[in-house]
Amino acid sequence: MTPPLSHPAHPPGLPTVRLRPKAEARAIRHGFPWVYADELVTDRRTQGLRPGTLAVLEDADRRPLGLVTVNPASRIIARMLDRDPAAVVDQGWFAARLTRALALRERLYDAPFYRLVHAEADGLPGVVIDRFGDLAVIQPNAAWAEAHLDALVAALVAVTGVVRVVKNGTGRARGLEGLPEETLVLRGTVDGPVEVPMNGAIYLADVLGGQKTGLFYDQRPNHAFAARLARGARVLDVFAHVGGFGLAALAGGADSALAVDGSAAALALAERGAAAGGFADRFATRQGDAFATLETLATEGARFDLVICDPPAFAPAKPALEAGLRAYERVARLAAPLVAPGGYLVLCSCSHAADLTAFRNASARGIGRAGRRGQILHTGFAGPDHPVLPQLAESGYLKALFFRLDG
């Protein structure tokens, strides 16, 4: 008779959750960090777990796979925290992950302005931390991170030496986790926007009231590439936020830059950034709907040597994919006529659901329908402070296409 299988015991006091027999345990073993609701045995006990509960995940044969956080109300019902089912999530646990993340950023950047933690790719599912010198902004976008926020903040201060910490608890992801929206100063004081040096320009990040953490570090390498194309150029930066591409272009030697955005507050920060960088005389803004403004500029006969469109996510999830791709096509169709012959058009997407091929095809259709032709010079992605988890395509969300258009 074959002896029964024996499995290692999991830590006392932790609940156990188990994959369904047909669930793909191999993917979890090979590094996929999520378990979807239809892959887990969701009996009354599991459904009764509070969002953010830590549990040991087992395969269908009751072999432990690791320590997970469970949220029965979420489509992603479990997220892998540690391959060691006996791991203890405390300040020391957070410090180990933050130390590893910090070592990478300090190797990449000379100044402490970067994304310090990029969620699953840095071993902290649902957690984003952006650093602005002595200040850090945490986005705890998963219920487990909210429950362990005190330990995370204590580890962050100890590892990095930051003295100011802001919790940005806003955004779609928190809603999906059943978390309230709130922004709080957890350590120190914040008395206004923070100056951020990047690519030779100075940006103003509103860490309390701006979008996400106040600034988008992910576009840093794409700003730099665009700046090389901007020397002596007339530049149009659409969906400019606080001046992302426009200010980098001016730092790179652009003759002028016009920033377009729907937010007056964001454009005011862009103007302050232009003044701080010494570019105020070459920088202008126009507030309004981006699509309407593109159409108006065309009727005015405006032409630019470099046009950049960096819109918000038109396809944040699969149900929005088709509508999102139509929106990207429309952006390209409206922007292409504004590019002077031989000029450059940069089109960006931060949509998880639209992969590179779909986005590139939509962009090419829009350019073609505008009566223009072009070549792709470069395809850009997020900077290395936004690492990609190979098993999780969603962690590589940003795409930037650089076109040179014919006459």
pLDDT per residue as tens digits for the range 4-14: 444 444 555 89
Say if residue 317's pLDDT is above 90: no
CATH 3.40.50.150 domain range(s) in the chain: 202-405
Residue-level pLDDT at 205: 97
Alpha-carbon radius of gyration of the chain: 23
Residue-level pLDDT at 7: 43
* Percentage of residues in the chain having pLDDT higher than 90: 88
Q: State the average pLDDT over residues 185-211.
A: 96
Amino acid making up residue 330: R
CATH 2.30.130.10 domain range(s) in the chain: 16-82
Say if residue 187's pLDDT is above 60: yes
Q: What distance lies between CA 384 and its chain's CA centroid?
A: 12
Which class is domain 91-187?
alpha beta
Q: Which residues contact 154 (CB under 8 A, 6 or more apart)?
A: 91, 94
Per DSSP, 203 falls in state E
Residue-level pLDDT at 393: 80
Residue-level pLDDT at 176: 79
pTM > 0.95: yes or no: no
Domain 16-82 CATH assignment equals 2.30.130.10? yes
Amino acid making up residue 345: L
Residue-level pLDDT at 294: 98
Helix ranges (DSSP H) in 191-344: 220-229, 244-251, 264-276, 290-299, 321-335
Residue-level pLDDT at 394: 76
Residue-level pLDDT at 12: 59
Distance from C-alpha of 157 to C-alpha of 167, rounded to nearest angstrom: 13
Q: Mind telling me the catalytic residues?
A: 350
Residue-level pLDDT at 11: 54
Say if residue 136's pLDDT is above 80: yes
pLDDT per residue as tens digits for the range 324-364: 999 999 999 999 999 999 999 999 999 989 999 999 999 99
CATH 3.30.750.80 domain range(s) in the chain: 91-187
pLDDT per residue as tens digits for the range 137-166: 999 999 999 999 999 999 999 999 999 999
Burial code (b: 16+ CB inside 10 Å, e: under 16) for 292-321 equals: ebbeebbeeebbbbbbbbbbebbbbeeebb
Beta bridge partners of 201: 198
Distance from C-alpha of 306 to C-alpha of 283, rounded to nearest angstrom: 14
Q: For the domain made up of 202-405, give the CATH fold.
A: Rossmann fold (3.40.50)
